[in-house]
Amino acid sequence: MTPTTATALRDQEVVICGAGPTGLTLSILLSRFGIHHLVIDRRETMSGVPRARGINHRTGEIWQLLGLGHALRSATLPPEWLERMVYQETLAGPLIGTVETPGNLPGASSHLTPSDTYCISQDRTDALLAGRAATYREASFRFGTEFVGARQRTDGVDITVRTGAGEEHIRAAWLIGCDGTGSDVRAAAKIPQVRLATLDSFVNAHFVADLRRWTQNRPAGRRELLALSDQFRSRPRCPGQLDRGKGDGSNPEDDRSDRRRNALGRAPLLLSV
Ligand SMILES: Cc1cc2nc3c(=O)[nH]c(=O)nc-3n(C[C@H](O)[C@H](O)[C@H](O)COP(=O)(O)OP(=O)(O)OC[C@H]3O[C@@H](n4cnc5c(N)ncnc54)[C@H](O)[C@@H]3O)c2cc1C
């Protein structure tokens, strides 16, 4: 899907704000019910940033129902890459520990669910969803179209968007906010966030490089590089919530935390557990 699939703004049955995984999944579902709709996104085109890589069973079940099962199985990492996570000081440096993750292997949960978990970067899953969403005549797409406000009517909603041509207006029966954590649609609907708005802060650096020299003999679905500079020692961090739960088995996170703790405990790391 590209911005060239643009459609004229006009009266719409449903407007979906946001062409991320939520908005695109909803688009496919609406199309399958024969409901015409417009998807808008302020980006000029789909995001190419990898972001989410772990696709859980429930998401897999839904996407499989939408006909994406074969594509997901083709795109996920091969089994030998799925069965463990590794912790290293640096990409080329010594191994700190591994956590076996057999539950990620194909068929591991086949007694519970028809879907596996998958390890696929989000730029690829977003493209899969976008490709499928664009096959339905019920769906139209407008990129470079930013939601800026909405006014409730008795029979629907007046939506204001900003495009390269300035502000434009759409009348719709329904407006659905799929515009991510900082949702402008939610703000316009005056729906407050009931939990902490910011849980933590991260800096992500996305680069493309051939790293096989360091990774091909140490396959892993997830690779944590634990920086050991003094700065990090003074504020020790490790993957997962190691201090979560009472350790009495009442918290399903405990088991994972124990496995991580065991893996990491072998390393000369200053950990606050
Ligand atoms: C580094 C990183 C790693 C991650 N890893 C995982 C993981 O392993 N597993 C996992 O489940 N999740 C992971 N996530 C989270 C995952 O990326 C998000 O949960 C997911 O993208 C949310 O999908 P969404 O469709 O709800 O929102 P988004 O993907 O944020 O999409 C929202 C869309 O709305 C558009 N939009 C926003 N505001 C407006 C507006 N005013 N007008 C028009 N359009 C607008 C945006 O341009 C965007 O395209 C990760 C995120 C990051 C950053």
29: left (phi over 0), alpha (psi -120 to 50) or beta: alpha
- 162 within ligand 1 shell (Cβ under 6 A): no
* Residue 130 counted as domain residue: yes
* Residue 19 counted as domain residue: yes
- 221 within ligand 1 shell (Cβ under 6 A): no
Q: How many CB atoms lie within 10 A of CB 16?
A: 28
* Residue 208 counted as domain residue: no
Atom of ligand 1 at shortest range from CA of 147: 42
pLDDT of residue 264: 57
Of 9, 27, 42, 185, the residue with max ligand 1 atoms within 8 A of its CB, to mutate for a pocket test, comes to 42
Calculate how far, in angstroms, residue 68's C-alpha sits from the geometric centre of ligand 1. Answer: 20
Share of the chain above pLDDT 70, in %: 78
* Residue 21 counted as domain residue: yes
Question: In terms of pLDDT, which residue wins out, 258 or 32?
Answer: 32
* Residue 173 counted as domain residue: yes
Contact 93/268 with Cβ under 8 angstroms?
no
> What are the tens digits of pLDDT across the range 209-267?
898 998 999 999 888 887 654 444 433 344 443 344 344 445 555 555 566 656 555 44
pLDDT of residue 3: 38
> What are the tens digits of pLDDT across the range 141-190?
999 999 999 999 999 999 999 999 999 999 999 999 999 988 999 999 99
Which residue's CA is the closest to the ligand 1 atom numbered 7?
A: 52
Find tokens 């019920």 and name the residue.
138
> What are the tens digits of pLDDT across the range 116-152?
999 999 999 999 999 999 999 999 999 999 999 999 9
> What are the tens digits of pLDDT across the range 188-211?
999 987 776 677 788 888 888 898
pLDDT of residue 271: 41
Range name among 74-78, 87-91, 121-125 with the lowest pLDDT average: 87-91
pTM of this prediction?
0.83
pLDDT of residue 65: 95
Which residue's CA is the closest to the ligand 1 atom numbered 30?
A: 180
| Total domains present in the chain | 1
* Residue 234 counted as domain residue: no
Give the CATH number of the domain where residue 20 resides: 3.50.50.60
* Residue 115 counted as domain residue: no
- The closest of 76, 40, 39 to 57, measured between CA atoms, is 76
* Residue 145 counted as domain residue: yes
Domain that holds residue 180: 3-50+124-188
